[in-house]
Chain A
Amino acid sequence: MAKKKIAVLFLFGLIATALIFIKNEFKGSQTDSQFIILNWQHSPDKITTNGPVEFTISLKDKKNGPIKNAQIDVEATMNHAGMKPVMAQAKETGGGVYKVKIQLTMDGGWILFLTIKKEDGTIIKKEITFKTESR
């Protein structure tokens, strides 16, 4: 019985250590995305699955200046886990404004995951959430 008790205490000690490790891992991986001010619009006004939706994303820095020549990878995913994403890349139209057209495949809640690679190589991640209104 004593052996069993030690084994259980060891196992749960191991789990507690793993928990601390995982917590610290996530703390360390959090990036400061406040260096970017992101505004977005969409066309048409009603986001539906009936046709492609054009998203216009404008990026500004802390001083409200446009962020030019960035590369924006867009991953559109439903907010339910396990749905296939739609991948795209936004194109700059000038003045820190970028456009991307996406054909949404299903009605419901969506998230656009933006991976923004600035000219200086800095990578910033942002998210945009919205809902389709096909009806």
Chain B
Amino acid sequence: MIQRKSLRYLRMALQVSLLLFSIILIAVGIWGPQFAPKNIATLFIWVHYRGFLVLALLIWGNIFCMSCPFIFARDCLRIFIKPKFLWPKKLQNKWTAMFLFCAVLFYYEYMSLWSSPYKTALLIIAFFVLAMFTDTVFKKASFCKYVCPIGQFNFLASTLSPKEVKAKSLSVCESCKTQDCLRGNKELNLRGCETHLLMPRKKGNLDCTFCMDCVQACPYENIHIASVVPGSELWQETHRSGIGLLSSRKDFLAFIIAFTFGALVNAFLMTGPANIIKENFVNLGIQSDFFILLFFFFIALTALPAILLFIPEWLSQKQTGQKYKLIPTLLPVGFAVWIAHYSFHLLSGLFTFVPLISNFDLPVSWMGLNTSVITPIQLGVLVLGFLGSILVSIMLSENKKVQIAWITMNLVITCMAVWIMILPMDMRGTFVGIGQ
């Protein structure tokens, strides 16, 4: 019981810390200097937060959902306003969240968020407002399960994490009649799982926010954070509580595709060749940034996946009769692309915040690692991701032809990612006027 209580306090401490941190970032983003390199809002969000997020998911698990400040703010609001409605049945899927995920990626490029502290602050505010509005109107964790694009990113990436919230003994669960992990315990005022996961049938990390509600609610103290083989849940083709069969969930599968190819377009758009393509559009008379970006996103998120996935998927269906079963093989390589990209920013600018928050005159060479050190790390991560995709392909299908087709497709994605990572970078951006 002590352990469970301390978990609750630990979570609250993490949430309050991130809430206060978010408030500071919002304030500095709005009222602070409007130059991205001189403002901690842009620096901490686009360099440190994103970098630590993917590394935490890789090394431990979904600690950022666990520490979510939006949910803390929502919980505070729910003390005053109780939600009355259930999330609409037609929207009980990942399509809304996937649209928002793509929209955030697009908005990041279109509004040049990396160079605007003010717009970065507005994005944080938008997340708070959306979370608080959704969850004061709708019951349970509707925001986390159906809306939050960061949450969905974390869910997909955490399938590759080494930690998972699990039952200690399934036989204890079998004898349980109350299902407190799902329903909660009203007498003790303990919440059950707000994303509808019943512990004995919960498989893996999908839809798990690491909120620890189930750990506290279980009267048998039968739930803990366990170590698992990263990615092993991807080849467990069984019914998952609150989700169903992954291969029958088109929304999840589409999200896996958006997650993987979104990583490529997000990294590609900060390279020289992307800007050459943009300039060619301008030379052709297409001046609108919106339409040029729409073209990039259309190619990356629909045309490219359609071309690359067509043959392996067709072969899978022909050889085994199973539809979409191997799409999760994209996740390891997709996650590797996110890590390779975000770790570049994190490692190259790890200590660039020091001069912003102190008077310490940090030598430039100490501010971060050189590209010559980071590039091999990035390439190593991509190779590991590819190896992960090979493993998942082999585990998900016994048919050699199918395995080869999917491994080849993942190899093509890996090669594209390697090409992007070694391309000359071109930090395009908007300007705030010339000092006069």
Contacts and interface: CB of A to CB of B under 8 A. Distances in A.
Interface of A: 1, 4-5, 8, 11-12, 15, 18-19, 22-23, 26-27, 33, 37-38, 77-87, 106-109, 111, 113-114, 126-131, 134-135
Interface of B: 16, 20, 23-24, 27-28, 31-32, 35-39, 42-43, 46-48, 76, 79-80, 114-115, 270, 272, 275-276, 279, 345-346, 348-349, 352, 364, 367-368, 424-436
Contacts, number: 134
B351 to A, nearest CB: 10
B352 A80 contact: no
Contacts of A85: 37, 352, 364, 367
Given A8-B76, A84-B349, A108 B426 contact: yes
B426 A81 contact: no
Given A114-B435, A126-B435, 16 more contacts: A11-B16, A18-B23, A22-B31, A26-B28, A26-B31, A79-B431, A80-B46, A80-B427, A82-B345, A85-B352, A85-B367, A86-B364, A108-B428, A129-B431, A129-B435, A130-B434
14 contacts: A12-B76, A15-B23, A18-B20, A38-B435, A79-B115, A79-B431, A80-B36, A80-B429, A81-B43, A82-B43, A107-B272, A107-B425, A129-B434, A131-B431
A19 B349 contact: no
Given A19-B23, A22-B31, A108-B429, A84 B272 contact: no
B434 A128 contact: yes
Given A15-B23, A37-B436, A81 B352 contact: yes
A33 B436 CA distance: 9
Given A108-B425, A109-B431, A87 B348 contact: no
B435 A84 contact: no
Nearest to A135: B276
B27 A23 contact: yes
Nearest to B346: A82
Given A8-B79, A26-B31, A109-B429, A79 B38 contact: no
B28 A22 contact: yes
Contacts of A33: 435
Nearest to A25: B31
A118 B435 CA distance: 18
B115 to A, nearest CB: 4
B425 A127 contact: no
Given A8-B76, A15-B23, A38-B436, A84 B429 contact: no
Contacts of B42: 81
Contacts of B48: 82
A1 B189 CA distance: 11
Contact of A82 (B20, B46, B275): B46
Contact of A83 (B272, B346, B427, B432): B427
A83 B349 contact: yes
> Max chain B CB contacts within 10 Å: which of A5, A22, A85, A131?
A22
A126 B33 CA distance: 12
